[in-house]
Structure formats: C-alpha cells, structure tokens
Structure 1
Amino acid sequence: MSYLEYLEYPEPRYHSDRGEVNAVFRPADSPPDIVSPGASTHYLATNESTGGEFGLYRVELGAQSAGAKTHFHKAMSESFYILSGELELYNGERWVTGREGDFLYVPVGGLHAFKNVTDEPTSMLMLFSPGAPREEYFEHVAEMSQRGGEELERFRFRHDSYFVEDLKPEAE
C-alpha cells in the first residue's frame, strides 16, 4: 500500500503531549431541548460545547410540518442527514425527496429549504459549520414567525438566516 508523502492537515490547536479527559456523552434517550407544535429539537453539540467548531442538532418534524422556506446563510454551511421518514429538501434548483441515509450539504450562500409533506414524522440531523448560537433561533423562531413583519426580518438577519421572502429586489 502506498501513502501520499504530504497531507495537509489544519495547524494543531492542542499543544500538550498528553491527551485530556474532556469528551461529552449524550444518551439517545435524552429528552428534547425544545418541543414546539409539530417539532422537537435535541441539542447534540452546540456552538458553546464545541468551541464554535460546529453545531449538531437532531430535529424531529411531525407529519405535514412546514419546516423552513427558502433561505441562505452568509457565515455558515448547513447539512442535513435523514435518520428516518422522508423530507422534502430544496437544493437551490429543485425539490428532492430525502429518505433514511440521504445527505444534503449546503455551502455558505447556498439557497435551501425543507418541509415534511408526508403523513408520517421524520427525523434528521442538522449540522452547522462553523458553529453559531442557533439555540436562540430554535427557541424563538415560532414566536417570531407569529409576530411577522420587520421584527421577524431583524430576528432572521441577526441569526444569519436570509429568507428570499425578506430580501429587497436588487436595483437594476
């Protein structure tokens, strides 16, 4: 077997010659951190717990859940991994049906959306990289969506969520 002579890894961020005991375990039966009508969210790894490296969340959507309309992020990528059920995913060009084991990566600036149009629940992992304080977004998005208007728009922009419906037309 041959190996590449040079691999480019990131610069070390840990400089001790000994490892540390610092892993974090979350049992599968931990209750969700947020429960809202039609959805629940488990904070698996937050911006705070990963030192900003990434955020990982398990999201369970009920049947016929609206999900999120078309939007993009300026500061982070977002990935979706379907654990169970089916989820409609918008990849910036068209809607695709994600099923168990399917994965969608959305680079920074990539248009995307998701929704559950089935009569069955679905479960997915959402990964944000680098990490961002998404917990406040998840905890208040339903309330802010009910308020609507400029307050919702400011809330979305504050959380790096640029929904197409909020954007002003470009000057010609």
Structure 2
Amino acid sequence: MSLIVRDFTESVVVRQAEAEVIGQAPTTIRLLADAGSTGGALSTQRVTLNNGADGAKPHHHANSAELFYILDGTAQLLSGDQVVTAERGDLVVVPPGLSHAFAAAPGHDADILIVITPGVERFEYFRHLERIAYGKVPPESLLDVQELYDTYFRASPTWNSARSLVGE
C-alpha cells in the first residue's frame, strides 16, 4: 500500500493561530493536518496535558502506526505491555495492532506531537471526544465509530496499574 496519494501534490502549511483547538486545560488538542489534506499520508495533532492528565485510554489501530514525539515535559506511554516514560526530545513509534495509550506522567505536564500514518480522517474523532467531555453524547458512543476511525479500545491492567499512582 502506498502512503502517498496522487492528490497530495502541495505542501500543507498550518499556522498555529489557524489550528482548531479542542478541549481546555488540563487536556487540549490542536488539530494540525488530517488525511484529507495530506492525501491519506498522515494525520497529526499536538496534545498538551497538564499535571498528570490522561491523553488516550488503551487502544490500537488496525491499519496505522502512531508516532509520539515529546516536545516538552514528561509523558507515560503504554506500548504493548510496557509503560515507557518519555521526556522532551524522546520519540516512541507504535506499530499497527499494538495496544497503546498516553498521558502526562504523574505530577508533570507533557506537550506531544502525534502523527498517525497512513492517515485517517481523525479530526471528527476528536470533536466526538469533546462532545463526550461536555456530556452531549455518552462515552459508549465511541464503540459505534471504532472502525470508522481505526481506533479499537482495549483493556490494559498494566496501564491501569501505572495510572493508579496519579493523584497519590
């Protein structure tokens, strides 16, 4: 499968002031580029997490790899059955099918650039998460769109144990 689609012939430039922002502290997501603007090559967003905030619960992508680059701070990432602590400048790439999750490390902030490749239309997924956060739709509604967004939720005792220390 080719990552680059023929319609992706122009550079994509997203100015910080023009990026759509989802959520508010302790978790904000800046939507940068989606599969539609990159010919399916990738989807990318910047996630800022304050004071140990959760980013994403354990899940996997059947068809896409996910890259996490720590711009600043300290994050915890689940990669399979391993919890990795990553700091500014660290990179973690999770292959398709492997369970993963992310959060700011307990007591820390984290600013993370996330790239999914090949890309899927994920901006509406993040808008859906915002509707859940504001009580407009129930959390279970995500189960109905797992295939659409190539995001399949999983249980992870390893992650639950690591995150149980948050707030202690």
Quick check: 1:68 aligned with 2:59? Answer: no
Q: How many angstroms does 1:24 deviate by?
A: 3.1
TM-score (norm 1): 0.75
Compare the two structures and name the one with the higher strand fraction: 2
For the 8 Å contact 2:75–2:109, the answer to whether it is kept is no
Q: Which has the larger radius of gyration?
A: 1
Q: Which blocks of at least 5 consecutive residues in structure 1 are unaligned?
A: 1-9, 15-19, 166-172
Kindly tell me the number of residue pairs found equivalent between the two proteins. 147
Q: 1:24 to 1:153 in 2, by over 3 A?
A: closer
Identity %: 31
For the 8 Å contact 2:125–2:149, the answer to whether it is kept is yes
Q: Structure 2 counterpart of 1:41, which letter?
A: I
TM-score (norm 2): 0.76
Q: 1:94 to 1:48 in 2, by over 3 A?
A: same
Q: Which residue of 1 aligns with 2:23?
A: 36
Q: 1:13 to 1:78 in 2, by over 3 A?
A: closer
For the 8 Å contact 2:49–2:104, the answer to whether it is kept is yes
Q: Structure 1 counterpart of 2:44, which letter?
A: L
Q: What RMSD in Å do the two structures reach over aligned CA positions?
A: 2.3
Q: Structure 1 counterpart of 2:139, which letter?
A: G
SS in 1 for 2:114: strand
Q: Which residue of 1 aligns with 2:163?
A: none
Q: Which residue of 1 aligns with 2:160?
A: none
Q: Which blocks of at least 5 consecutive residues in structure 2 are unaligned?
A: 156-168
